[in-house]
Chains A and B, each alone.
Chain A
């Protein structure tokens, strides 16, 4: 069966520090991978998506970047965090267009 792992679950980082959130998928190959951010009480904002290794599409200009070094690994990074980067970050994967997206448990990031 397929599973998705996302870590860490919670993170408190000072402004200006770097960030690295990792997401890995098991049990499938060549998935589409997504990073979303959810501000408190708000909807999900699509940040990045990837259809293959090294292929990253960015939806919004921001302080963040994403990389896909391996087929089932998706990393969200920042060189210098801003206060506005605080939020709940969700990684997701899907495959067929008629298939729902499967989400990780999320990372709650607080930038202080």
Chain B
């Protein structure tokens, strides 16, 4: 089974509007971390936001917030007030386990976001 599922291959949003990018995950480990990355056309991977499985509150970082619904195993990224520079690929990722040395870091297939002026 896929560890991370992103069902939206492409999304369009009007500039200054909010957009939600979907992500569901699959794990039986009670301890895990969820991450979102942005990949512009240059290819670099830019870390956006992190949510721990034991965090009580949804993570927020500036215009980014993570809608964490643990029972549904979803970790949707919300971008408020979209800007043209937000056009990029967005990846959801998960890391399992509380072991300090960690293990695999799984990524979804990504969502291509286009912001329309």
Contact = CB atoms under 8 A, between A and B. Distances in A.
Interface stretch (A19-27, A43-51, A72-80): A43-51
Given A42-B109, A43-B108, A90-B45, A101 B101 contact: no
A46 B107 contact: yes
Contact of B104 (A41, A46, A102): A46
Interface residues of A, number: 30
A67 interface: no
A97 interface: yes
Contacts of A81: none
Q: Interface residues of A: mostly helix, strand, loop or mixed?
A: strand
A40 to B, nearest CB: 11
Given A32-B101, A43-B91, A106-B43, A100 B107 contact: no
A97 B43 contact: no
Contacts of B12: none
A78 B116 CA distance: 42
A51 B44 contact: no
Given A43-B91, A90-B45, A106-B44, A97 B107 contact: no
A7 interface: no
Interface centre among B45, B50, B108 (most CB of A within 10 A): B45
A60 to B, nearest CB: 12
Given A100-B47, A102-B47, 20 more contacts: A32-B101, A32-B105, A41-B112, A43-B91, A49-B105, A51-B102, A57-B104, A59-B104, A90-B45, A92-B105, A97-B95, A97-B97, A97-B99, A97-B102, A98-B33, A98-B52, A100-B35, A100-B37, A101-B47, A103-B44
